[in-house]
Structure 1
Amino acid sequence: MKKIFLITFSLAFLGGIAQIKIKSLVNTSTKVLTGESKLSNEEVVKGLKEALSVGTDKSASLASKLDGFNKNPRLFIPWPEEAKEMKARLLKMGFEKKIEEFETSLNRAAEEAALKAASVFVDAITGMSVQDGFAILNGADTSATHYLRKTTYTPLENNFLPIVKAAIEKVNVTSYWNPLVTAYNKLPLVKKQNPDLDKYVTNKAINGLMVLIADEEIKIRKDPAARVSDILKKVFGGKG
C-alpha cells in the first residue's frame, strides 16, 4: 500500500513540475511575440554601435585639438622604444632640445591625423558583426571598445595609415628626425637606426583614440546625460 501511495505521489509531483515549466515557456513566448520583452539582440547591437560611433566622434574631437596627444600623459607618443639606445646616446651628446622637438612632432602628427579619424572608425564600427550583444552590454564597462579593438584593429590600421602618412608630411616629422639620426649614425660602431615612423605613429594614434573611446563608453553606460539618442537611452537606460 505504501509503495502505491509513493508512486502516485511521485507522478503527481512530477506532473506538477512539468506543468510549471510548460507555463513558464508559454509566458516567455508570449512576451516575445507581444513585444513585452525589453530588448532584442538586434536593438542591443544597434545601441552598442551607436555608443561607439558617439564615442569616436567625441574622441577624435578631443584628440585633434592642439596638445590633444602632446599634453595628455595617457596618449603622449614617446620616442620609439626600438631606438631607445639611440636616444640615450644623443642625450649625452646634448641633443635634448632636438629630441623634445622630434617627440612633439610625432604627437602633432597624431593630432592632425585624428581630424579624419572618425570616418575611419565609423566604417569599422558599422561593419562589426556582434554575435551576442547582450554579453557585451552586460560585460565590463569598456566591453564594446575591447570588441572594436579585437575585431577591427587590422583594417583600422590599414585605413588609418595613409592619413597618418599625410599628417607626418604636413607637420614635417622627418625634418626633426633626420638631424638626429644623421648625428647618431656618424658615431662609430653603432647600429644604424631607421624605425618605421608611419606605422609607429599609426599604432600609437589608434591606441590613444581607443583610450578615449573607452572613456566615452563608460560615460554612456553610467551617465544618462551622455545618452544622446533614443537607441542609447533604450539600450543603456537600465544601466545607469
Structure 2
Amino acid sequence: MIKRILVLAVAITFSGCAELQKVVNTVSQSGVLSQAQIGNGLRQALDNGIKNQVSKLTAADGFYKNELVKILLPKELQAVNDGLRKIGLGSVANEGIKALNRAAEDAVKTATPIFVNAVKDITFADAKNILLGEQNAATSYLLSKTNSALYNKFNPVIKNSFGKVGADKIWSDLINKYNRIPFVNKVNPDLTDYVTTQALKGVFTMIEVEEKGIRQKVGLRNTALLKQVFALQDNR
C-alpha cells in the first residue's frame, strides 16, 4: 500500500513539475512584456498585413484575379448582368465587373497611408486578451475600431478612382443599355458606396491573411518583437 502511494506521489510530482515548468516558461516570457509591448507586437503584425498582403491589391488585377476579394456585382445589378448576357453582351458585362475592381485597386493604392495611420493610432484596450484570442482577433479589433472612420475617408477616394479608371462611364453606358431592354425594371444603384464597402472588406481580408500566417508560422515573425510576443500565444 505504501509503495503504491509513493509511486502515485512521484507521478504527481513529475506531472506537477512539467506543469510548473510550463507556467514558469510562460511567466518568464510574459513577465518582460507589458501591455504596451504586446500592443506594439500586434501593430507590427497588422503593419505586415498592409506591407505584405494589402500591397498586392494595388497591382493590376489585384482585386479582379484574387478570389478572396474579387468584387462581384451587387444584388441590384445581377439583373443587368443577366440581361446583357442574354442579348449577347457578355463581354460588356465582364468589362463592367473589371471596372469595379480597377476602381478598388486604384483607390487602395491611394489610400494605403490611411490604413497605416489607423494601425499606428489604434489603442489596444487589452492587448494580451487579443493576442490570446481568435486567429484574426487583432484584425477584427482594428475593423471594429476604425471601419466607420475609414469608410468616410475611403469613399471619396473610390469616387475619384471611378473617374480615373473610367468605371463611371462604363457603368453609365451599361445601365443605359440595360434600361433600354423591353420590360425590365430600371436600375441605378449607388456603386460608389458598394465598391467602398467591398474594397474595405478586401483590405481587412488580406490583413487577416497575414495575421493568421504570423500566428501559425514562426517563420513569418520577422522581428524580435513579433517572435517574443507571439511566443506567448504558442505557450498558452
Shorter-chain TM-score tier: 0.7 to 0.9
1:232 to 199, 203, 226: 226
**Paired position in structure 1 for 2:67:** 73
Which of 94, 99, 102 is residue 93 of structure 2 equivalent to?
A: 99
Against the structure 1 CA distance between its residues 141 and 36, is the aligned structure 2 distance closer, same or farther, given a 3 Å change threshold?
Answer: closer
Q: Number of residue pairs matched?
A: 208
Name the counterpart of 2:170.
Answer: 176
The one-letter code sitting in structure 1 at the alignment partner of 2:111 is A
Identity of aligned residues (%): 35
Q: Which runs of 5+ in 2 are unaligned?
A: 1-26
Which ranges of 4 or more aligned residues in structure 1 deviate by more than 4 Å? Answer: none
- Aligned residue in 2 for 1:10: none
Measure, in 1, the Cα distance between the counterparts of 2:187 and 2:30: 64
Instruction: Name the CA distance, whole Å, in 2 between partners of 1:99 and 1:90.
Output: 7
Which amino acid in the other structure matches residue 185 of structure 2? K
| TM-score (normalised: structure 2) | 0.81
* Residue 188 (structure 2) aligns with: 194
Q: Give the structure 1 partner of residue 12 of structure 2.
A: none
Mapping 1:1-240, distance limit 5 Å: 37-239=31-233
Work out the CA distance in 2 between the residues paired with 1:135 and 1:237.
14
* Structure 1 residue 198: Cα displacement: 1.4
Q: Is the 8 A contact 2:77 2:187 kept in 1?
A: yes
What is the alpha-carbon distance in structure 2 between the residues aligned to residue 135 and residue 219 of structure 1?
Answer: 19
Task: Tell me how far 1:59 sits from its aligned partner.
Answer: 2.1
> How far apart, in 2, do the equivalents of 1:85 and 1:222 lie?
42
Larger RCO (CA within 8 A; separation ≥ 6): 2
Segments of 5+ residues of structure 1 without an aligned counterpart are: 1-30
Question: What is the identity, as a one-letter code, of the residue corresponding to 1:115?
Answer: K
